[in-house]
Amino acid sequence: MGEIPITTVVGLAGFLAGVVFGSVANKTNFCTMGALSDIVFMEDYGRFRSWLLAIAVAIIGSQSLHIMGMVDLYESIYQTSNLGWLGGVVGGLLFGFGMTMAGGCANKNLVRIGGGNLKSIVVVIVMAIFAYMTLRGLIGLARVELESFSNVELAQVGLKSQGLIDILALLVGSEVENLRVGFSVIVTTFLLVYCFKDSNFRSSAANIFGGILIGALVPLGWWVTGVLGFDDFEPTALFSFTFVSPAGESIQYLMTYTGATINFGIATVGGVIVGSFLVSITSGSFHVEAFSEKEDMKRHLFGAAIMGIGGVLALGCTVGQGITGMSTLALGSLIALISIIVGGLFGFKYLEEGNIVRAIKVIFTRN
């Protein structure tokens, strides 16, 4: 790449990948919270299947890169032997509930910024601040205490990672790589069959297109940071799409630009906004929207704050853990994903009932 710093190369590639992500998410209305909302209020599983399709495609691409030796998924944050199960549960519940209060998850609010939504600007800034506070600031100490109290060191039972394939290999007494292809095929086949058995989904080009492209961007992220960004003297951490902690890093980067270095996550945050903006302008859907009332703003601020905290505790958001983490087939990602879904469903019931106690009763009892 000549004299161009490797960080610049990775940043540019991340920005372009983010532009594609934002364009596709805007055009196809790809949204995890929207998918759960469709299920709860309309019994429509179309966008939920699109999300599962994205997971399947991400698994296929990511595991293929690992099998071919192009990237080592064990170097990702999702495959450590330190299983933070409580952080996944608490963080996932907080993030899921928070996204319903804030009108969307992290990536959806970034997409909405590109579409002219002023509320989402406030949501992303507040989420970013609380994420960075949890990562390295005021709430950081509490996070470290939670992790030290609850994290399980899997190396003590002979596991080098929290990968589902590694756990299965230990249980059946086999080599991990002997099971990788078969296990990946079984998981992705199940997801693909579930998605495409529905005739309405098969006829929805937007849901199929969105799921495939969003899913394909995850292994692209691994390739950008693990292959394109490989450098013996200036190594790039293996990374792919996630938006909570990168949003916090983006705020810091904007304030300390002359003394800071861009990374893949920061670049994708900007790319998503630009991609969504381009689609909004060309389609004529760009529309400036602000808070309608005081209560609306209070709800969004609260949701943004706990999204930031929860996203860091869970090591990711609906994209970071729900797609990117799941592409590595990590147990922690599965725990976080389930917790995010439960938190989101509870959030919708709370909005519907207007009372936490009634919301709990609705979830755990039949009407």
Q: Which helix (H) or strand (E) holds 109?
A: helix 106-114
Burial class (CB in 10 A: 0-12, 13-18, 19+), 182: exposed
Task: Give yes or no for a contact between 328 and 318, defined as CB atoms under 8 angstroms apart.
Answer: no
pTM of the model: 0.94
As a whole number of angstroms, the distance between CA 299 and CA 288 comes to 19
DSSP symbols for 14-26 = HHHHHHHHHHHHH
**C-alpha dihedral, 186 to 189 to 190 to 194, nearest 10°:** 180
Would you state the structure tokens that stand for residue 24, as one six-digit string? 């596709």
Residue 135 has pLDDT above 80, yes or no: yes
Residue 236's pLDDT is what? Answer: 84
**C-alpha dihedral, 198 to 332 to 87 to 320, nearest 10°:** -60
Q: Which helix (H) or strand (E) holds 152?
A: strand 152-153
Long-range contacts of 228-236 (CB under 8 A, 24+ apart): 228/9, 228/10, 228/13, 229/6, 229/9, 229/10, 229/13, 229/264, 231/6, 234/5, 234/6, 234/7, 236/6, 236/7, 236/10, 236/263, 236/264
As a whole number of angstroms, the distance between CA 44 and CA 263 comes to 38
Q: Give per-residue burial for 264-274: e unless 16+ CB within 10 Å, then b.
A: bbbbbbbbbbb
Q: Give per-residue burial for 328-338: e unless 16+ CB within 10 Å, then b.
A: bbbbbbbbbbb
As a whole number of angstroms, the distance between CA 159 and CA 307 comes to 31
Task: Give yes or no for a contact between 10 and 1, defined as CB atoms under 8 angstroms apart.
Answer: no
pLDDT band at 234 (very low <50, low <70, confident <90, very high): confident
Q: Which helix (H) or strand (E) holds 153?
A: strand 152-153
Q: Are strands 82-83 and 152-153 parallel, antiparallel or unpaired?
A: antiparallel
Domain ranges in the chain? 9-364
* CA distance readout (Å), 65 to 54, 87, 117: 17, 28, 37
Residue 365 has pLDDT above 70, yes or no: no
Residue 362 has pLDDT above 70, yes or no: no
- Taking only the tens place, the pLDDT of each residue in 145-163 is 998 889 999 999 999 999 9
Say how many C-beta atoms besides its own lie within 10 A of residue 261's C-beta: 13
The single-letter code of the amino acid at 133 is M
pLDDT band at 1 (very low <50, low <70, confident <90, very high): very low
The single-letter code of the amino acid at 15 is F
Residue 298's pLDDT is what? Answer: 95
pLDDT band at 15 (very low <50, low <70, confident <90, very high): very high
- Taking only the tens place, the pLDDT of each residue in 187-199 is 999 999 999 999 9
As a whole number of angstroms, the distance between CA 328 and CA 119 comes to 34
Residue 79 has pLDDT above 90, yes or no: yes
Residue 367's pLDDT is what? Answer: 46
As a whole number of angstroms, the distance between CA 59 and CA 94 comes to 26
pLDDT band at 233 (very low <50, low <70, confident <90, very high): confident
